[in-house]
Amino acid sequence: MTAAAHIWLTVCGTSLAAVVMGYMIAAAIAQRVRRTARPPTLAAAPPTTILKPLCGAEPGLYEHLRSFCDQNCDDLQIIFGVRDRDDPALGAVRRLQREFPRLDLQIAANPAQHGTSRKVSNLVNMMPLARHDYLVIADGDVRVGPGYLERVIAPLLDEGVGIVTCLYHGSPRPGLWSLLGSMFINEWFMPAVRVAALFGSRSFAFGVTIAVRRETLARIGGFTSIADQLPDDYRLGELTRRMGLRTVLSEVEVQTCVQETGPGELLRHELRWLRTIRTVRPLGYALACATMGLPAVVLGCLLAGGSGTTLAMVAITALARLMIDSAPRKPYSPLAQLWLVALNDLLVFALWCWSFTTRHVHWRQARYRVARDGTAQEIP
């Protein structure tokens, strides 16, 4: 190797290690210093319709759905949408209808397809039943606490706000693969969102919660405007921002259930999430190597020839990375947590590299080819 090449590798490796170290320190700080909106206090949420697209009886579905029924709202309507009248998810819905006879709990069972996204088609089919001007869309695996609805709806009282969305954390079912799935959310994706939010970015929207006014939804063309999009939640926020409306990151943090039955399901889910992010933020995603934690800083150290400076950066990065903790791994010993962190970071780094090889994703039982603009075409 020539002297010039050696110098070039040393500079590149040291720079990479420094950037990764800086990001990890920022992520550890952002987890503790959360700049979120402080909306006006509401005694109760105004009349609101919650849209819950469902497919299948996922573990804990009844408890998740019930948490939305226990909200303080003047006139609450919840619409549960399915494609098939025999969908197993309706067992939990009918149980809630018996338990909360005074709530307006409705079922929209309609197989009509409006574009390639089955979730968005479900939402389109639910809208004719919606009675109220404030709408909340939330995935079926989400669980919320008391006070959720009034705090999420409050920012929409400002007409300059387009949508309200929430941070979330993954709660795993028993097993290694579910634990790794929750760590992907809690220790890679959410820290990246928190760092972006700490520096003022609001270019995001998450399917765990999107609150929007009916009038705003109509102005962007309704749900049909995103019926072919894989990143439907992100596009919904993007369309409102194009109208000059703000996206508010709520002070509420919700919980999503993570159940990965095996390595294959975990890989398919994480690759879909990664390729979705690649679609909506291609440049930022290409530079996301800096967020990959231990593998990225070790790579930088190796490129720099294991210099003392980069070895110190590896140690600082590892310490900051361990500070980005999540409740699911806390019961483990410090040594076991270190192994889990290393395994998770290596997996995310490998999948990030793999995500550039193709634009195919799996979603439930279907396979899609995703175009550069986020349009998804189902592969027979």
pLDDT tens string 98-151: 999 999 999 999 998 888 888 999 999 999 999 999 999 999 999 999 999 999
Strands 161-172 and 246-258: parallel
**What are the φ/ψ torsions at residue 248 (nearest 5 degrees)?**
-105, 130
The rounded distance, in Å, linking the Cα atoms of 191 and 110 is 38
∠ Cα 98 104 110 (to 5°) = 90
Q: How much is the average pLDDT of 87-98?
A: 94
207-241 pLDDT, tens digit each: 999 999 999 999 999 999 998 888 889 999 999 99
What integer pLDDT is reported at residue 148 of this predicted model?
Answer: 94
Residue 112 is given by DSSP the state -
The rounded distance, in Å, linking the Cα atoms of 208 and 114 is 22
Q: How much is the average pLDDT of 174-197?
A: 91
What integer pLDDT is reported at residue 39 of this predicted model?
Answer: 59
Min mean pLDDT across 22-36, 251-265, 284-298 is at 22-36
Q: What percent of the chain has pLDDT over 90?
A: 57
The rounded distance, in Å, linking the Cα atoms of 227 and 220 is 12
What integer pLDDT is reported at residue 202 of this predicted model?
Answer: 83
CB 63 within 8 A of CB 227: no
Q: Does 49 have pLDDT greater than 60? A: yes
Question: What is the b/e burial string over 60-99, where b = at least 16 CB atoms within 10 angstroms of the residue's CB?
Answer: bbbebbebbbebebeebbbbbbbbeeebebbebbeebbee
pTM here is 0.90
∠ Cα 163 168 174 (to 5°) = 150
Q: How much is the average pLDDT of 150-167?
A: 94
Give Cα 196 distance to the centre of its chain: 14
Q: Does 315 have pLDDT greater than 80? A: yes
Contacts of 248 (CB under 8 A, 6+ apart): 37, 39, 155, 161, 163, 164, 165, 202
